[in-house]
Amino acid sequence: MECPKCGNEIPEGKLYCPSCGYAVQIVPDYDADLEENLSSVGSDIAGTVNRIDVAESAVTSFDEDSTTKEIPMVRKDDVSNILKRGAKNDEARQKLMVYAGAGVFAIILIVVTMVASKSLDQMSFVPVAALDEVISEGETMNMPKAAIEIPTEEMPSKEWVDENEPTEALSEDEAYEDEVSEELIITPEGGSYSKPEGISAKIVLISEDEESEPEDVEGTIYFTRDGSDPDENSEIFSREIAMPVGRSSFAFRYMDSEGNMSDTYRAEYDLEYEGAACSTTDAANLIIATLVKDGALLDIYGHVAGSLGMYTYQCNSMITSDDRDYFLIPESYEEPGGQRKRTGKIYAVDAENLSMFTVSQGSNGKYSFEVFF
């Protein structure tokens, strides 16, 4: 076929002239039925146009030359590139739809999970981590981040309450109800006395609640008779102490179960006994004279056969038992150049009738008497 423009031969199957690039218009084969139908349609259109009153001002004139302008040549390679770009765009759109669907599903799953959880406190969430991959792909395809809306949801406010804590505020008295402390209780309190009383000490657990009774606590109590600070080498309190006649000063400390030593507790007494038949010195001399007469001592100085040491007897305290008052005279033994130590034997003289007894004290602090002479 010849090119209508340049006259050169156009190969069969080509849609444009290889010399000048003129596009070839292919006329289909003649079809009688198609021609008849087109003719009928054209007649109808013509009849319709004839019935329309068209103003001359609306008639548009056409430039015959404009309908015959050359169509730019389209190369085969350009057509192939256009088709490839179209396929890539379709593939990108499909990927975007898949990623967007996955992101929406992840968002719905997170929202449902958070609503179902009743223990969550007030919070809002932005599931950015769940959409990192989608956003990353979107940036790769030059998709703006604003194209993906990230929903946020605010959960109802709920105060967290510890089941182990009280639901109501405690009053000032209730807040200190359970506070306790260990104390050393000494009885009687220090002061002046006209009749002897036994001195006792104990460790108690005291509560701030005034209605609670003090509870006894086990521990070792050390004491001194001269007011000096006790230590682990001091006397250990185990039973009631006889109150000294005249002025005296005691000091106490206790050691708890963990080996901690308490502060020092002090008590001072002034026993002025009235109505006694003799003095404390007379009571001691009465015991010494009785022992010498009985042959237990060689002399009033307390010497005994076969020993260089001596026994001593001093009265410095009084007790009350069964409404009777007694002078107590403990026995001690002193080696030459050594210290004086108590033997454990105690004598008693009735302060009213001067009767003499040997005395023993039980673990409960009570005294028992046996006639000495």
User: In this predicted structure, what is the pLDDT of residue 57?
Assistant: 45
Phi, psi for residue 145 in degrees, rounded to 5 = -65, -30
User: In this predicted structure, what is the pLDDT of residue 124?
Assistant: 46
* Residues 216 and 204: beta-carbon distance below 8 Å: yes
Between CA 263 and CA 184 the distance in angstroms is 9
User: In this predicted structure, what is the pLDDT of residue 168?
Assistant: 52
Q: Tell me what the mean pLDDT of segment 193-207 comes to.
A: 90
User: In this predicted structure, what is the pLDDT of residue 201?
Assistant: 94
* Residues 283 and 299: beta-carbon distance below 8 Å: no
SS3 89: helix
The bridge status of strand 310-313 relative to strand 324-334 is: antiparallel
- Which positions ≥6 away from 233 have C-beta within 8 Å? none
> What residues does 205 pair with on adjacent strands?
182, 215
Q: How many residues does the chain have?
A: 373
Q: Tell me what the mean pLDDT of segment 92-114 comes to.
A: 79
With pLDDT > 70 as the criterion, what percentage of the chain qualifies?
63
Local confidence band at 206 (pLDDT 50, 70, 90 cut-offs): confident
Residue 104 has pLDDT above 50, yes or no: yes
**Domain parsing of the chain, residue ranges:** 1-74, 77-147, 177-271, 280-371
User: In this predicted structure, what is the pLDDT of residue 75?
Assistant: 56
* Residues 226 and 249: beta-carbon distance below 8 Å: yes
Average pLDDT over the chain, rounded to an integer: 76
Q: Tell me what the mean pLDDT of segment 205-216 comes to.
A: 74
- Which positions ≥6 away from 318 have C-beta within 8 Å? 196, 242, 243, 245, 271, 273, 325, 326, 327, 328, 351
- Give 269-320 pLDDT, tens digit per residue: 999 998 899 999 999 999 999 999 999 999 999 999 988 899 999 999 999 9
User: In this predicted structure, what is the pLDDT of residue 364?
Assistant: 81
pTM of the full structure: 0.50
Between CA 5 and CA 21 the distance in angstroms is 10
Residue 151 has pLDDT above 50, yes or no: yes
SS3 287: helix
Alpha helices in 216-354 (DSSP H): 280-294
Three-state SS sequence of 173-209 = HHHCCCCEEEEEEEECCCEEECCCCCEEEEEEEEECC
Local confidence band at 202 (pLDDT 50, 70, 90 cut-offs): very high
- What is the longest distance spanned by two Cα atoms in the chain? 177
Pick the closest to residue 291 from 319, 311, 270 (CA basis): 311
User: In this predicted structure, what is the pLDDT of residue 337?
Assistant: 85
Alpha helices in the chain (DSSP H): 32-51, 76-116, 128-140, 172-175, 280-294
Q: Which residue did the predictor score with more confidence, 257 or 73?
A: 257
* Residues 326 and 351: beta-carbon distance below 8 Å: yes
Residue 186 has pLDDT above 90, yes or no: yes
User: In this predicted structure, what is the pLDDT of residue 339?
Assistant: 86
The bridge status of strand 356-361 relative to strand 367-371 is: antiparallel
- Give 231-276 pLDDT, tens digit per residue: 999 999 999 999 999 999 999 999 988 888 999 999 999 999 988 9
Residue 158 has pLDDT above 80, yes or no: no
> What residues does 253 pair with on adjacent strands?
222
Q: Tell me what the mean pLDDT of segment 363-370 comes to.
A: 88
CATH class (in words) of the domain with range 177-271: mainly beta
